[in-house]
């Protein structure tokens, strides 16, 4: 663990604390999440005023909810999602943008959340794997991944699903080459690609029909 | 990464057999039919060659342009390994729920699904009705996930524990059904008399239990007829596993780039339990083998002793665009030696890929890459296209 | 990553007032107060975070440029030149209809870089100013010449991905494939100094080889901001092509990349050619031999082949990267034919 460490605030449980450290957090702290919306402009001003390396309170638009969270400037979006926001579906693989396990959407395009500072997200909407389903109804790509056994160890799966779902947003009838291009940043050590490709093509077909 | 030790050995051996066939002016399949005593491999060669279109194979360098295509094949051999320190507990609870507990762990192999399948089949339930609790060392001893041993080790005790737990349920439910326990069957979510005249739902039957739950622990018995080898907890079944793989490659002789276009993998693993999961394992085996053949290499700086590519940027692993068309053919090879008759797949599906690709590369360009991985540097050196010839070959 | 203070610059003036240091100067000064007190400007932040996570850079303050609208625009200037703001992402470059139509090789180079995830965040400015990917340079265990040490470890070590030209005391290759295309188009960079003075420098002159400076890859001055890349108006008959070859087709650095820009006359003869090799030298390598071999010629297989051989003349490969010579020869020939529409 690097950085200035986890800041304990009132109300944080020991379990949350351990969860945070276990995920190799570099200095992120949970405040009350989702309470008291702060306007984007006010947030930017607060960020501008930050003078030291101490935690800064920001508001992230995650899966349609405004989540208030105190972050140290060096905390990545991936760390903040997994730590104080408790959205552990997003995985951290290489932590260098090389494996894409941490893929989330920012402004509806897939990005590597391990190479994005949380403080740099601003008011751009973030969608994580937890935000893809509509209530109990899975996103067509999620359902197709299950139907095609496109999951082995599952570590790359959330990121891979985010890339595939993003592809269908812009290209509802992709070719196999389109799917390969959209997923070319991902690393699946289990080698589940063929089933994942079939799942995406199937999801595209079923969405059309 | 899979099949440590076996893959480098097979890479050399399987290329030597290919080379021997070429020196003898024989088709590599015909030579193997002469020297390979396994009837299983022979059948795998036959069905694989037909699906793959082996008869399309031409002489090296048949393509006119810079991209040369080639076909190759290789075989794998892997012990049907078993760990006898493998046990599980099956519980039937009075509320009708069924649980299986074992300290076996699911690292992506799908063993949790298989355990649910086995117990469900025995109890006449659906797999999703079985609660699988694994990965906790407080549960009965489970095998580790290596050596392609997991399915062979833990599914037979799962079936045996389920069978015995069900007998206890029959004992409890027999009076309510007015039939002796040995005349009861479990089918379609019901406990019924053999003639189907009377039945209770599984839940109703479970409600007849005198106590909150039935609990049966079973451990891995020796294979029927014994093992071929046994040392400590490790054993090997009498019939080994393997497979035959066929690869089609395209080699650009100007850039040295090798791309695998198609792989047909014929595999056996005893009685297949979940063909789709087996296909996932075979995809993994083939893709790891391809990656091993083409790009994976740990690079050590010889002067300072540091690994230079201990990251996912420069330790190269094939990804989406490298994935070939992969077709699996499962040869159902019933052994009749355990309660599930199921053996491993992950590593036998990995061993043959790299040498099959190497043999296809030879068939494409007429020179053999004797070093791994087959990077552009390796291929161009083998082709004698590097000025000064200083690069390794 | 070590902690730092964070400021978001609302406009260019605020960013200039921050008094930034260059990443190269900061790394050269480390360890020491100059490095510890450094203020670093952040564009997309991909390379910056990578350097910080590897423990190679620990600035006192980061100033974010993402909120400055004027840096994020692509605009056609009077006269047809194109001005690309430094904060334009690689994904925008690859998808921009004007760039695809007029500067095809640039769109190809940007679209083939890294992964979709990275291209959505990485900026053109950051891409040009990123530090090299040499594994000795990126390793805290190797005090290499580019970091102020006494030796280049690559000369005696693992150099399969290193330079085959111009290794004057350091064998890095320039990491930007976009730069390969930009140099072929004779692009310039616009730099704004601390006092607001703007200067425009040809990219080819802005990027520095180790013979000029061993510890920095460009002429960015302290406090200066790279604000835009300027592409000259395309001349009639200009066609371009970029080819990259990685060991992998998915998310891999190229072992060779080539950009070719041909100005073809109505008679089909090549008036002027730009042939630039990436992943070949510490800077994008302009293959003058190939350019003059093409001038005045009709493009055909034979001329392309001769030009490719000329492009590699004088290469000085290291022990493990001579394989790059035939790879480049193939790519140069194919890119010339691709630019001429004969691929």
Residue C178 lies in a domain: yes
B259 shares contact with chain A (CB less than 8 Å)? no
Q: Do both C78 and C204 map to the same domain?
A: yes
Q: How far is C1 from chain A (nearest CA, A)?
A: 6
Look up the domain containing C123 and give its range: 70-129+174-231
How far apart are alpha carbons C199 and A105 in whole angstroms?
37
Count of domains for chain C? 2
Q: Using an 8 Å Cβ cutoff, are C330 and C308 in contact?
A: yes
3-state helix, strand, coil split of chain A in percent (to 5) is 40, 15, 50
Q: Using an 8 Å Cβ cutoff, are B315 and A99 in contact?
A: no
B331 shares contact with chain A (CB less than 8 Å)? no
Residues 253-292 of B with CB under 8 A from C: 254-257, 259
User: Which chain A residues touch C11 with a CB distance below 8 Å?
Assistant: none
User: Which chain C residues touch B306 with a CB distance below 8 Å?
Assistant: 139, 141-142
- Give the mean pLDDT of C110-131: 98
How far apart are alpha carbons A102 and A99 in whole angstroms?
8
Spatial strand order in the sheet of C188-192: C74-76, C82-85, C225-231, C188-192, C198-202
How far apart are alpha carbons B244 and C97 in whole angstroms?
49
Q: What confidence score (pLDDT) does residue B387 get?
A: 81
C25 CA to centre of own chain? 19
Mind listing the pLDDT tens digit for each residue in B160-190? 999 999 999 999 999 999 999 999 999 999 9
Instruction: Quickly state the pLDDT bin for A23 (edges 50, 70, 90).
Output: very low
Mean pLDDT of chain A: 82
Domain boundaries in chain B?
Answer: 6-80+239-389, 82-234
Q: What confidence score (pLDDT) does residue A37 get?
A: 35
Contact A191 B284 (CB under 8 A): yes
Q: Does residue A27 have a pLDDT over 90?
A: no
User: Which site among A194, A195, A200 would you substitute to test the B interface, given the most B Cβ atoms closer than 10 Å to its Cβ?
Assistant: A194
User: Which site among C117, C120, C122, C140 would you substitute to test the A interface, given the most A Cβ atoms closer than 10 Å to its Cβ?
Assistant: C117
Contact A152 B286 (CB under 8 A): no
Q: What confidence score (pLDDT) does residue A209 get?
A: 55
Q: Using an 8 Å Cβ cutoff, are C57 and C40 in contact?
A: yes
Strand C198-202 versus strand B184-187 pairing type: unpaired
Q: Do both C269 and C226 map to the same domain?
A: no
- Give the mean pLDDT of B251-256: 98
User: Using beta carbons and an 8 Å cutoff, which residues of A are at the interface with B?
Assistant: 93-94, 96, 98-99, 148-149, 151-154, 179-181, 183-195, 197
Q: Do both C323 and C199 map to the same domain?
A: no
* Residue in B254, B302, B377 nearest the CB of C330: B254
C3 shares contact with chain A (CB less than 8 Å)? yes
Across-strand partners of A110?
A105
Give the least confident one: B112-116, B238-242, C208-212: B238-242
| 3-state SS assignment for residue A168 | helix
CATH at residue C199: 3.30.465.10
Mind listing the pLDDT tens digit for each residue in C68-103? 999 999 999 999 999 999 999 999 999 999 999 999
Is 0.85 exceeded by the ipTM? yes
* Chain B: partners with 3+ C-beta pairs within 8 Å: A, C
Q: Do both C113 and C223 map to the same domain?
A: yes
Contact B276 A149 (CB under 8 A): yes
Q: Do both C266 and C210 map to the same domain?
A: no
Residue C139 lies in a domain: no
Contact C115 A56 (CB under 8 A): no
| Percent of chain B whose pLDDT exceeds 70 | 99
Phi, psi torsion values for C226, nearest 5 degrees: -80, 115
Mind listing the pLDDT tens digit for each residue in C30-41? 989 999 999 999
Q: How far is B387 from chain C (nearest CA, A)?
A: 7
Domain boundaries in chain A?
Answer: 14-95+116-122, 140-208
| Percent of chain C whose pLDDT exceeds 90 | 98
Mind listing the pLDDT tens digit for each residue in B174-230? 999 999 999 999 999 999 999 999 999 999 999 999 999 999 999 999 999 999 999
Residue C6 lies in a domain: no
Which helix (H) or strand (E) covers residue C28, if one does?
helix C23-29
Q: Do both C213 and C289 map to the same domain?
A: no
Mean pLDDT of chain C: 97
* Residue in B107, B276, B323 nearest the CB of A193: B323
User: Which chain A residues touch C115 with a CB distance below 8 Å?
Assistant: 97, 100, 112, 184-186
Q: What confidence score (pLDDT) does residue B370 get?
A: 87
How far apart are alpha carbons C160 and B381 in whole angstroms?
13
Q: What confidence score (pLDDT) does residue A208 get?
A: 65
Contact A72 C115 (CB under 8 A): no
Residue C64 lies in a domain: no
Q: How far is A137 from chain B (nearest CA, A)?
A: 19
Among residues B149, B7, B173, B181, the alpha carbon closest in space to that of B79 is found at B149
Tokens encoding C132:
């090299």
Q: Which residue has the higher pLDDT, A23 or B265?
A: B265
| Percent of chain B whose pLDDT exceeds 90 | 97
Contact B377 C323 (CB under 8 A): yes
Q: Does residue C193 have a pLDDT over 60?
A: yes
CATH 1.10.10.10 fits A140-208, yes or no: no
Instruction: Quickly state the pLDDT bin for C343 (edges 50, 70, 90).
Output: confident
* Chain C: partners with 3+ C-beta pairs within 8 Å: A, B
User: Which chain C residues touch A182 with a CB distance below 8 Å?
Assistant: 116
Mind listing the pLDDT tens digit for each residue in C273-320? 999 999 999 999 999 999 999 999 999 999 999 999 999 999 999 999
Contact C158 B316 (CB under 8 A): no
Q: What confidence score (pLDDT) does residue A22 get?
A: 36
Compute how many other C-beta atoms are within 10 angstroms of the C-beta atom of residue B233.
16
Compute how many other C-beta atoms are within 10 angstroms of the C-beta atom of residue C74.
17
Phi, psi torsion values for A56, nearest 5 degrees: -120, 135
Q: Which residue has the higher pLDDT, C53 or A25?
A: C53
Q: What confidence score (pLDDT) does residue A9 get?
A: 36
Same topology, domains B6-80+239-389 and B82-234? Answer is: yes
Q: What confidence score (pLDDT) does residue A206 get?
A: 85
Q: Do both C119 and C186 map to the same domain?
A: yes
User: Which site among A29, A73, A127, A166 would you substitute to test the C interface, given the most C Cβ atoms closer than 10 Å to its Cβ?
Assistant: A73
Instruction: Tell whether the torsion through CA atoms of A86, A91, A97 and A100 is positive or negative.
Output: negative
Instruction: Quickly state the pLDDT bin for B261 (edges 50, 70, 90).
Output: very high
Contact A56 C8 (CB under 8 A): no
Q: What confidence score (pLDDT) does residue B389 get?
A: 52
**Angle at alpha carbon of residue B10, lines to B6 and B15, rounded to 5°:** 170
C230 shares contact with chain A (CB less than 8 Å)? no
How far apart are alpha carbons C245 and A185 in whole angstroms?
16
Q: Does residue B109 have a pLDDT over 50?
A: yes
How far apart are alpha carbons B104 and A5 in whole angstroms?
36
Supply the Cα-derived Rg of chain B in whole angstroms.
Answer: 25
Mind listing the pLDDT tens digit for each residue in C3-31? 999 999 999 999 999 999 999 999 999 98
**What would the CATH number be for the domain defined by B6-80+239-389?**
3.30.365.10
* Residue in C3, C52, C62 nearest the CB of A4: C3
User: Which site among B67, B306, B393 would you substitute to test the C interface, given the most C Cβ atoms closer than 10 Å to its Cβ?
Assistant: B306
Q: Does residue A10 have a pLDDT over 60?
A: no
Q: Do both C249 and C293 map to the same domain?
A: yes
Q: Which CATH number does the domain B82-234 belong to among 2.160.10.10, 3.100.10.10, 3.30.365.10, 3.30.300.130?
A: 3.30.365.10
Q: Does residue B274 have a pLDDT over 80?
A: yes
């Amino acid at each position: 663990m690097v950085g200035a460490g986890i800041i304990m605030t009132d109300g944080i449980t020991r379990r949350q604390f351990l969860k945070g450290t276990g995920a190799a957090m570099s200095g992120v702290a949970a405040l009350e999440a989702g309470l008291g919306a702060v306007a984007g402009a006010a947030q930017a001003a607060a960020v501008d005023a930050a003078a030291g390396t101490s935690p800064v309170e920001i508001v992230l638009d995650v899966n349609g909810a405004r989540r208030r969270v105190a972050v140290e400037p060096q905390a990545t979006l991936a760390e903040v999602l997994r730590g104080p926001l408790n959205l552990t579906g997003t995985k951290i693989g290489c932590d260098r943008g090389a494996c894409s396990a941490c893929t989330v959407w920012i402004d509806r395009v897939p990005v590597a959340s391990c190479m994005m500072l949380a403080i740099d997200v601003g008011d751009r909407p973030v969608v994580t794997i937890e935000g893809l389903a509509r209530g109990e109804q899975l996103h067509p790509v999620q359902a197709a991944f299950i139907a095609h056994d496109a999951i082995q160890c599952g570590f790359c799966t959330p990121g891979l699903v985010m890339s595939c779902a993003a592809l269908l947003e812009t290209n509802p009838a992709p070719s196999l080459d389109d799917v390969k291009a959209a997923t070319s940043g991902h690393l699946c050590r289990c080698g589940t690609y063929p089933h994942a490709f079939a799942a995406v093509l199937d999801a595209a077909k079923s969405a059309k029909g | 990464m899979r099949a440590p030790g076996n893959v480098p050995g097979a890479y050399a051996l399987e290329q030597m057999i290919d080379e021997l066939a070429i020196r003898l002016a024989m088709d590599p399949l015909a030579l193997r039919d002469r020297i390979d005593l396994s009837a299983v491999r022979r059948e795998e060669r036959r069905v694989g060659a037909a699906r793959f279109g082996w008869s399309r194979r031409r002489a090296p360098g048949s393509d006119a342009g810079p991209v040369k295509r080639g076909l190759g094949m290789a075989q794998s051999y892997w012990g049907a390994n078993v760990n006898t320190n493998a046990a599980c507990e099956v519980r039937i609870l009075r509320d009708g729920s069924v649980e299986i507990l074992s300290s076996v762990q699911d690292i992506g192999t799908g063993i949790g699904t298989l355990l649910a399948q086995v117990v469900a089949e025995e109890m006449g339930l659906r797999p999703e009705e079985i609660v699988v609790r694994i990965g906790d060392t407080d549960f009965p001893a489970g095998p580790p996930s290596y050596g392609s041993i997991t399915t062979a080790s833990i599914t037979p005790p799962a079936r045996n524990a389920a069978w015995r737990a069900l007998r206890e349920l029959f004992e409890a439910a027999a009076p309510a059904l007015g039939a002796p326990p040995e005349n009861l069957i479990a089918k379609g979510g019901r406990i019924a008399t053999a003639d189907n005249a009377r039945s209770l739902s599984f839940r109703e039957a479970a409600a007849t239990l005198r106590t909150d739950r039935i609990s049966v622990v079973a451990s891995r018995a020796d294979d029927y007829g014994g093992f071929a080898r046994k040392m400590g907890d490790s054993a090997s079944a009498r019939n080994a596993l393997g497979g035959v793989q066929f690869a089609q490659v395209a080699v650009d002789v100007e850039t040295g780039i090798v791309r695998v276009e198609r792989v047909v993998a014929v595999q056996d693993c005893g009685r297949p339990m979940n063909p789709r999961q087996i296909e996932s394992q075979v995809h993994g085996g083939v893709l790891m083998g391809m990656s091993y053949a083409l790009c994976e290499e740990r690079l050590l700086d010889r002067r300072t002793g540091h690994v230079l590519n201990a990251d996912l940027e420069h330790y190269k692993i094939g990804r989406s665009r490298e994935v070939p068309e992969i077709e699996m053919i499962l040869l159902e090879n019933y052994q009749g030696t355990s309660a599930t008759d199921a053996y491993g797949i992950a590593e036998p599906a990995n061993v043959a890929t790299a040498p099959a690709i190497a043999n296809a590369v030879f068939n494409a360009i007429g020179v053999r890459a004797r070093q791994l991985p087959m990077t552009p540097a390796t291929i161009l050196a083998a082709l004698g296209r590097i000025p000064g010839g200083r690069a390794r070959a | 990553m070590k902690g730092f203070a964070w400021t978001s610059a609302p406009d260019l003036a605020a960013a200039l007032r921050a008094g930034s240091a260059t990443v190269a100067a900061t790394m050269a000064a480390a360890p020491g107060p100059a490095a510890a007190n450094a203020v670093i400007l952040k564009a997309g932040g991909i390379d910056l975070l990578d350097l910080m996570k590897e423990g190679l850079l620990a600035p006192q303050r980061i100033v974010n440029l993402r909120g400055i609208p004027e840096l994020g625009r692509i605009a056609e200037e009077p006269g047809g030149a194109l001005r690309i703001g430094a904060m334009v992402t690689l994904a925008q470059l690859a998808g921009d209809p004007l760039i695809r139509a007029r500067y095809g090789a640039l769109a190809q180079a940007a679209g083939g870089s890294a992964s979709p995830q990275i291209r959505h965040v990485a900026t053109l400015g950051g891409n040009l100013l990123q530090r090299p990917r040499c594994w000795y340079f990126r390793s805290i265990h190797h005090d290499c010449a580019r970091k102020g040490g006494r030796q280049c470890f690559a000369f005696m070590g693992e150099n399969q991905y290193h330079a085959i030209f111009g290794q004057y005391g350091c064998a890095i290759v320039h990491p930007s494939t976009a730069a390969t295309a930009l140099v072929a188009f004779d692009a310039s960079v616009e730099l704004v100094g601390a006092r607001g003075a703007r200067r425009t420098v040809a990219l080819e002159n802005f990027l520095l080889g180790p013979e000029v400076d061993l510890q920095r890859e460009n002429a960015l001055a302290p406090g200066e901001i790279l604000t835009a890349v300027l592409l000259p108006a395309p001349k009639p008959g200009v066609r371009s092509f970029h080819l990259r070859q990685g060991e992998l087709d998915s998310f891999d650095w190229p072992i060779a990349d080539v950009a070719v820009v041909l100005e073809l006359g109505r008679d089909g003869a090549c008036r002027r050619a730009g042939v630039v090799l990436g992943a070949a030298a510490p800077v994008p390598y302009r293959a003058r031999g190939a350019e003059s071999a093409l001038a005045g010629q009709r493009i055909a297989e034979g001329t392309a082949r001769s030009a490719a051989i000329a492009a590699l003349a004088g290469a000085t490969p290291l022990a493990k990267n001579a394989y790059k010579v035939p790879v480049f020869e193939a790519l140069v020939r194919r890119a010339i034919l691709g630019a001429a529409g004969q691929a």
